[in-house]
């Protein structure tokens, strides 16, 4: 009996070419596994394509809700943003995919998992760290790093290869952006983006929305309801997280929200430029942060921001299945105990504008914050506080003056 390999399958040219390549070079029984994290119509026609290419079986695993609840929401609650801009759309999905690939491998008694990530990117790290953490006994096949066996270097090479194996599929050699899509975002790389001196061709690129210039000349008002840091309703209608993100993607896309052009530092040491569309995620992150402003005390918020940045780096580097990620997430979950309330926002030409935030656990005290403070705050108390708070500065200044005089 042949050994089985689980192929992380998208249906694109790369992973389609991998099916006959794995059979030809390793004599594997190839089982394709496509993980649905919300990539929409990219799943159309996959079963026929996989079988035409020589796969013995295709799994299409619906992971949308698990992706939202177990991977996206921990990042939202942590306020995890990589290098101040990137909302981790691809990074969050990879451990979810790795986890399901391992589960399918166990179900099929496979001995290996194969992925089509290149040797220059972050995804090879994310996939393989996830697999190693969950199934250290499984072999990992990364063809793009096996240059002695994987000799194809272009789309033209891959098309010629599949045609030579009798696979007639609707791929051509025309150039296009390299994209990754799921429910949270879509990323774009390649073409003019490879030159940081060139502006993105947004008219040809955008998938989820429009630029702010092309957004309507009217604002869109919405409200989000949160319970313990998790969104539970949009505009007063109860929805699950995946439904809320889907609708926010529509509203955000229409209003030019969540388009970023970033040169980021990859784990492998190089800089890369990409454009990310994250309309719904940008709105959700902003709403969550606005609610936290009312509820978290100063020291908790400062600590959470530091750990949120570290959490983002952990996720970006593919270290989801680590004790450190679990520990930071446990801290974050404690901070979310009272992050409950309603956030109102206005969307207008790429902008997210505050329109009022309420919470039963708000620490904002109108009496304290107003200029006509009541019994809780005595202006005279500030004198003693400032004297003690500024004491180190005063002592240092006195010492410096004394030293200067003696000199």
Does 120 fall in a domain?
yes
- Among residues 56, 178, 242, 309, the one annotated as catalytic is 178
- 265 and 183 share one domain: yes
Which segments of the chain have a pLDDT < 50? none
CA distance 182 to 37: 5
- 31 and 98 share one domain: yes
- 343 and 203 share one domain: yes
Domain count, the chain: 2
- Among residues 10, 53, 94, 325, the one annotated as catalytic is 94
What pLDDT is stored for residue 104 in this prediction? 98
- 192 and 226 share one domain: yes
Whether residue 123 lies in the annotated active site: yes
- 195 and 63 share one domain: no
Collapsed DSSP state (helix, strand, coil) of residue 273: strand
CATH code: domain of residue 152: 3.40.50.620
What pLDDT is stored for residue 153 in this prediction? 86
**132 contact partners, CB below 8 Å, separation of at least 6:** 140
Centre a 10 Å sphere on the Cβ of residue 208 and count the other Cβ atoms it contains: 20
Does 318 fall in a domain?
no
CATH code: domain of residue 245: 3.90.1260.10
What pLDDT is stored for residue 168 in this prediction? 76
Q: What percent of the chain has pLDDT over 70?
A: 97
What pLDDT is stored for residue 42 in this prediction? 76
Does 172 fall in a domain?
no
Does 387 fall in a domain?
no
What pLDDT is stored for residue 171 in this prediction? 67
- 92 and 185 share one domain: no
Does 391 fall in a domain?
no
Rounded-to-10 torsion of CA 97, 103, 104, 108: 160
CA distance 93 to 71: 7
- 237 and 272 share one domain: yes
Whether residue 14 lies in the annotated active site: yes
What pLDDT is stored for residue 284 in this prediction? 98
What pLDDT is stored for residue 154 in this prediction? 84
Decide which of 142, 164, 186 is a domain's last residue.
164
- 34 and 56 share one domain: yes
- Among residues 10, 14, 53, 100, the one annotated as catalytic is 14
Domain extent for 246: 178-296+339-358
- Among residues 49, 123, 180, 325, the one annotated as catalytic is 123
Collapsed DSSP state (helix, strand, coil) of residue 165: coil
Does 380 fall in a domain?
no
What pLDDT is stored for residue 342 in this prediction? 98
Does 402 fall in a domain?
no
Decide which of 138, 164, 190 is a domain's last residue.
164
- 45 and 138 share one domain: yes
What pLDDT is stored for residue 374 in this prediction? 62
Does 302 fall in a domain?
no
- 126 and 9 share one domain: yes
Whether residue 178 lies in the annotated active site: yes
Decide which of 100, 135, 164 is a domain's last residue.
164
- 182 and 34 share one domain: no
What pLDDT is stored for residue 369 in this prediction? 66
CA distance 151 to 147: 6
The pTM score is: 0.93
- 86 and 207 share one domain: no
Q: Which residues pair with 220 in a beta bridge?
A: 347
């Amino acid at each position: 009996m042949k050994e089985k390999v689980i192929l992380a399958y998208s249906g694109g040219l790369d992973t389609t070419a991998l099916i006959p390549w794995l059979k030809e070079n390793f004599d594997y029984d190839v089982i394709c596994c496509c993980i649905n994290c919300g990539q929409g119509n990219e799943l159309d026609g996959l079963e026929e394509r996989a079988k035409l290419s020589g796969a013995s079986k295709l799994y299409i695993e619906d992971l949308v809700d698990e992706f939202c609840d177990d991977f996206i929401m921990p990042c939202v609650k942590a306020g995890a943003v990589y290098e101040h801009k990137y909302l981790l759309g691809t990074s969050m999905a990879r451990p979810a995919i790795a986890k399901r690939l391992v589960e399918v491998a166990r179900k099929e008694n496979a001995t290996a998992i194969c992925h089509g990530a290149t040797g220059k990117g972050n995804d090879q790290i994310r996939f393989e760290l996830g697999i190693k953490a969950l199934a250290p006994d499984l072999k990992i096949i990364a063809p793009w790093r096996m240059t002695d066996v994987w000799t194809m270097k272009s789309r033209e090479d891959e098309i010629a290869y599949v045609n030579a194996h009798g696979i007639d599929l609707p791929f051509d050699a025309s150039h296009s952006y390299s994209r990754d899509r799921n429910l949270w975002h879509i990323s774009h790389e390649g073409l003019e983006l490879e030159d940081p001196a060139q502006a993105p061709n947004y008219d040809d690129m955008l998938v989820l929305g429009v630029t702010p210039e092309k957004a309507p000349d009217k604002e869109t008002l919405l409200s989000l309801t949160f319970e313990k840091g998790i969104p539970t309703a949009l505009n007063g209608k109860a929805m699950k997280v995946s439904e809320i993100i889907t609708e926010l993607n529509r509203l955000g896309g229409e209003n030019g929200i969540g388009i970023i052009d970033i040169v980021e530092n990859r784990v492998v040491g190089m800089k890369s430029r990409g454009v990310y569309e994250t309309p719904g995620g940008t709105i959700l992150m902003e709403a969550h942060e606005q609610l936290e402003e009312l509820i978290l005390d100063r020291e908790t918020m400062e600590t959470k921001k530091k750990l949120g940045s570290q959490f983002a780096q952990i996720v970006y580097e593919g270290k989801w299945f680590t004790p450190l990620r679990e520990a930071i997430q446990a801290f974050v979950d404690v901070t979310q105990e009272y992050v409950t309330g309603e956030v109102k926002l206005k969307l207008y030409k790429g902008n997210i504008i505050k329109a009022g935030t309420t919470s039963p656990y708000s620490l904002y005290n109108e009496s304290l914050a107003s200029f006509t403070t009541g019994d809780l705050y005595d202006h005279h108390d500030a004198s003693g506080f400032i004297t003690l708070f500024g004491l180190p500065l005063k002592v240092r200044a006195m010492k410096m003056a004394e030293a200067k005089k003696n000199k």
